[in-house]
Amino acid sequence: MRDYLNERSRQILEAIIEDYIATAEPVGSRAITRRHAMSLSPATVRNVMADLEEMGFLISPHTSAGRVPTEQAYRFYVDSLLDVRRMAREEREEIRKRCQLSGKDIGEVLKETSRLLSSVSHYMGIVAAPRFASNVFRHMEFVKLGGRRILAVLVSRNGAVQNRIIEADEELPPADLVRMGNYLNGLLEGLTIARVRQRILEEMEDEKTRYDLLLTRALRLSQQTVAENGDEVFIEGQANILEQPEFADVVKMKEIFRAFEEKGQLIGLLDRCMEAEGVHIFIGSESSLGQMAGMSLITSTYRTGKNSMGVLGVVGPTRMGYAKVIPIVDYTARLVSKLLELE
């Protein structure tokens, strides 16, 4: 469908999106011709707007004569129209000045990073601490301790080790534990720990696995081994969201804040951001979080000296200033990576 947009339609769509980002008010044809250097009549602009609405890029709120961009429009804008601006020297200096490590532990640094992301973007800053889930699986081993208690040893490719004492449903002989480890090592080699969790769930739902008692037991033990710990997520600037006119509804705001307070679903979303390095943009329903309707998340991965990965980013309305926020998130992630890798 996007291929059918000619240059005129693209220009008008871009103008509508940028006006709506700036004003939060539905955009009409006269506003387009008045604010933008287009040698088009309001009637011509109206016809193009009607076509864009039919294609799913615009909607008409209530009885307003203006139009509002849809999630599909923002996605097209980000992928095809957006001219990401260069960060001002003052912004880079402010971020560098506040990203200082002297006398601080990593938790303090990341908390301050979430504050500065909020301050510079004027939205909500979010930083997830480096997580074992971002590491790549190398080896899993089960050691019998006594009775049903087992020491599970999980080793990642970068040498990080996680030990956990788990309890099986019944007492298992050492030979079975060795076979289980061999099976899991072959199944999970090369996956991130976050993807390992998903793969285990997929295997447990596989009908063939259900008929193999040893494999079923192995998957249950591995599920306990890679269970998530209480991961640290730093969120700052919630008050900035309250200032956005589209979130004046108190009920809507309570839903949003509940999603960030519980953090469980949010951590799952951030795990998806760690599947590949670089900047990720989730617009509205793309996040698969119902509470995030009408909101966008821009993230980037960062690395530490131990080669583990974390995520930082900015949360705001779908009409956020993408051209401004994307370089802020990207620059901050690269700077934090550089600083932490020097530690």
Only one residue has tokens 């951030």, namely 270
DSSP reduced 3-state for 72 = helix
Phi, psi (rounded to 5 degrees) for 301: -80, 155
Structure tokens at 315: 């949360």
DSSP 67: B
**In the chain, what are the domains?**
2-81 (1.10.10.10), 89-133+231-341 (3.30.450.40), 134-225 (3.30.390.60)
Only one residue has tokens 């990576």, namely 337
Question: Would you place residue 101 in the very low, low, confident or very high pLDDT band (cuts 50, 70, 90)?
Answer: low
Structure tokens at 298: 């821009």
Question: Would you place residue 116 in the very low, low, confident or very high pLDDT band (cuts 50, 70, 90)?
Answer: very high
Q: How does pLDDT run across 169-227, given as a tens digit for each residue? A: 888 888 989 988 898 888 888 887 777 877 888 887 776 666 677 777 888 888 777 76
What pLDDT, on a 0 to 100 scale, did the predictor assign at position 158?
Answer: 67
340 to each of 47, 94, 335, how far by Cα in Å?
54, 18, 9
CB atoms within 10 A of CB 320: 23
SS3 readout for 128-143: EEEEHHHCEEEEEEEE
Q: Please give the Cα distance from 221 to 177 (Å, whole number).
A: 10
Q: How does pLDDT run across 249-258, given as a tens digit for each residue? A: 777 777 777 7
What pLDDT, on a 0 to 100 scale, did the predictor assign at position 239?
Answer: 83
Which of these, 340, 343, 342, lies nearest to 309 by C-alpha position?
340
What pLDDT, on a 0 to 100 scale, did the predictor assign at position 226?
Answer: 76
Question: Would you place residue 134 in the very low, low, confident or very high pLDDT band (cuts 50, 70, 90)?
Answer: low
The structure's pTM equals 0.73
DSSP assignment of 12-58 = HHHHHHHHHHHH-S-B-HHHHHHHS-----HHHHHHHHHHHHHTTSE
Is 1's pLDDT higher than 60? no
